[in-house]
Amino acid sequence: MPPPTLVVFLQNTTKVGHFLKEAALHLSKLKTKPMENSKGEKIPYATSRASYAYGWQQLKINFLYFLVIVLIMGIADIPFSKVKDMEGESNPIIYGLQLLGMAYAIFFLPVLKYGADLLILRGIRNEPLELGELVLGFKKNYINIVLAHLITTAIIIIGFLFLIVPGIILACRLVFVSYLVMDKNMEPIAALEKSWAMTKGHGWRIFGMGLLAIPIFILGFLCFFVGAIVSIMWIHAAFASLYYAIDRKEEESLLA
């Protein structure tokens, strides 16, 4: 017979898992049912609830693909995380590793991140998924990816230096840059400008989605490794859903 503490532990873990599932079901019962555009495509409403609900729906459909993408990204982030842990140590070898880590974060990780965003977006749009596109940026659009990541990161950091709030605003308004670079093949400045235009009127909504992501991740983390991964997958799917909804809405308005 298992110890009482283990029984309580397993019961709590199960409750958290059920809570995540119930939260997703609750969202799906609200006004979150996908609408159809003129082409007969089902797209979510451009709201926080609809984005998370539609993201959950597509996550279940593309679960294995999204899981592999998130795992690959987690593994790819390990070298940079290890180098960051060495900060404060004075050693020529450590300095060399830190320089390599910085180069890795600037010239390698963004390509995978942008590729991951594109793949998740394809899953949201029910398009064929090919894991090879995760490294597509090394063959195509490489300079635009690196520059877009550098410029976006620099702008947001500068914003945070000015009493935090400007940084939050900039992070919310530039949240679609990676999608635009990969999905629309835009150059960095054009992607920043387009993201700013697309998120006009959606700033608070994006901020709210970011806040909602915190308890979702915490609850997932309480379910240990698997729960945390599912939470990350859901959050990424939700933001991709919002981009998809706004993008399709803009296309409809142009055709009208």
Model pLDDT for residues 163-177, shown as the tens digit of each residue: 789 999 999 999 999
Secondary structure (3-state) at 2: coil
Q: Is residue 3 in some structural domain?
A: no
Domain for residue 190, yes or no? yes
161: exposed, middle or buried (Cβ count in 10 Å: 0-12, 13-18, 19+): exposed
H-state helical runs in the chain: 4-29, 48-61, 63-84, 92-107, 109-124, 136-139, 142-161, 165-173, 177-183, 188-198, 203-222, 224-255
In a domain, residue 7? The reply is no
Number of domains in the chain: 1
Identify the weakest region by mean pLDDT among 75-84, 125-134, 136-145: 75-84
What pLDDT digit, counting tens, does each position of 203-225 carry? 999 999 999 999 999 999 888 77
Q: Are 151 and 188 in contact, with CB atoms under 8 Å apart?
A: yes
pLDDT of residue 32: 55
* Half-sphere exposure (Cβ direction) of 186: Cα atoms closer than 13 Å: 19
Percent of the chain scoring above 90 in pLDDT: 65
Residue 120: is its pLDDT beyond 60?
A: yes
Give the pLDDT mean for 131-135: 93
Residue 1 belongs to some domain of the structure: no
Residue 13 confidence (pLDDT) above 80: no
Taking only Cα atoms into account, the Rg of the chain, rounded to an integer number of angstroms, comes to 20
- pLDDT of 106 higher than 90: yes
Least confident window among 45-49, 148-152, 173-177: 45-49
Over residues 39-64, mean pLDDT:
89
Q: Is 173 domain-assigned?
A: yes
Residue at 162 is within a domain: yes
Question: What is the per-residue pLDDT for 81?
Answer: 77
Reported as a pLDDT band with limits 50, 70 and 90, residue 88 is low
For residue 208, the SS3 value is: helix
Position 152 confidence tier, pLDDT thresholds 50, 70, 90: very high
Residue 5 domain flag: no
Least confident interval from 55-59, 78-82, 155-159, 226-230: 78-82
Domain coverage including residue 140: 12-255
**pTM of the entire predicted model:** 0.84
Percentage above 70 pLDDT, the chain: 80
Residue 159 has pLDDT above 80, yes or no: yes
Q: Does residue 2 sit within a domain?
A: no
- Supply the pLDDT for residue 99: 87
In this prediction, residues 88-104 reach a mean pLDDT of 80
